[in-house]
A = this chain, B = another copy of it.
Amino acid sequence: MKLYDTPLAPNPRRVRWFMAEKGIDDIEIVTLNLIAGEHRQPDYLAKAGVPNVPALEMDDGTTITESVAICRYLESRYPEPNLFGRNPEETAVIEMWMRRGEMLVSNPLMMMVRHTHPALAALEAQVPEIAEKNRESGIRGLKLLDRRLAESEWLAGPRLTIADIVAFSGVDFGRMIKFQAPEDLAHVGRWIAAMRARPAAAAGMPQAQAQPA
């Protein structure tokens, strides 16, 4: 298998984080330079179908994009530690929290960054109202997570799962514009600190990318 990856962007980081939690180190990683447009080259588009990173090329040559689809596939090949659920009931609760974390927190915070950070102005026209709406949405989502984290160590239960990785990817991406979760969300603050303290957090950082082990 081969993983097409890029530093800095939040979605590829989810897969690197997921792999680090599982200790997966036997997949070839190909780092694409998005600034140089390597994700828009014909060879890559023929594989991935879309100019998106990450992409996973399976052993049979099938290539898939979408970070969560890639992670779920990796879970089938590297089952431990379990990050998607051990039975249908647990899987359902984890997927629910993953989707809440993605739709209510990560996506709006990523949109906030995209419509704010000067370096991303080249991607599409930035609209201040869109940035602000998404900031408000992301904070509403964080309040929901705070209520959840008041009663649960991790988003989906007593252990870290894909839900935490997906939700955190957007929160941490907000650092690009110095976004911080409101300080009164103490449980979110505790969770953010716990995420940053995981060894896997380093797998998402550009310096780790620049210095592959």
A residues 25-80 touching B (CB-CB < 8 Å): 49-50, 58, 60, 62, 64-66, 68-70, 72-73, 76-77
Q: Smallest CB–CB gap between A169 and chain B, Å?
A: 14
In the docked arrangement, what's the CA distance between A96 and B77, Å? 17
Q: Which residues of B contact A49 (CB under 8 A)?
A: 148
How many copies of this kind of chain does the complex include?
A: 2
A residues 70-127 touching B (CB-CB < 8 Å): 70, 72-73, 76-77, 88-89, 91-93, 95-96, 99-100, 127
* A interface residues, how many (CB within 8 angstroms): 30
Asked if A130 CB lies within 8 Å of chain B CBs, one says yes
- Known A58-B89, A129-B130; judge A69-B95 contact (CB<8 A): yes
9 pairs of residues in contact across A and B, judged by CB atoms under 8 Å: A50-B144, A58-B89, A62-B89, A62-B93, A64-B92, A65-B96, A72-B88, A77-B88, A127-B133
Residue ID in chain B nearest A62 by CB atoms: B89
Q: Which residues of B contact A50 (CB under 8 A)?
A: 100, 144
